[in-house]
Amino acid sequence: MRIRLATDEDADAIWSLLRPVFREGATYAIDPQISQGAALAYWMHTPRATYVVERDGAIIGTYYIKTNQQGGGAHVCNCGYIVGAAARGQGLAAQMCAASQTQARALGYRAMQFNLVLESNDGAVRLWHRLGFETVGMIPRAFAHPDQGLVAAHVMFKWLDAGAS
């Protein structure tokens, strides 16, 4: 497995990962009918850095790192992760999160925040807690889940800078 910066040549492979997740509408606050161009702009061009995970020459996962807020909040980043269906359940999300924390520190970020981790996505909530993220807030009925109706969302946070408190 290899994690590397995404390039424009990866766009089709990244879209093949994004499309089913965005179309399902169950984990990301993205219009399920988002166009390929808009999705790739969101995932590849708006963030500070976008990465892909390759195994045996195939891209099986992707994530981005972006500044969560500007100005006085610019030391906190936000990340989004997607694992391809064939690679789920193999620990890839944990590996991507660990790599993203290292990369975020190298980019000068001191903390990482996930703004909308859905309560219905219990696997992600458990994983992020296991990796040291704290739930610092809950937003009731924050997301209209296609099957479960209105679900709450966790705001999750982790200091990356060991000297910060």
Q: pLDDT tens digit string along 88-126?
A: 999 999 999 999 999 999 999 999 999 999 999 999 999
19-70 pLDDT, tens per residue? 999 999 999 999 999 999 999 999 999 999 999 999 999 999 999 999 999 9
Residue 164 has pLDDT above 80, yes or no: no
pTM here is: 0.94
CATH architecture of residue range(s) 2-159: 3-Layer(aba) Sandwich (3.40)
- Torsion, Cα 50 69 130 25, to 10 degrees, reads -70
Domain ranges of the chain: 2-159
118-142 pLDDT, tens per residue? 999 999 999 999 999 999 999 999 9
Take residue 16 and report the two structure tokens written for it: 């093949």
Helix axis angle for 122-130 and 92-106, nearest 10°, is 50
pLDDT for res 45: 95
pLDDT for res 162: 67
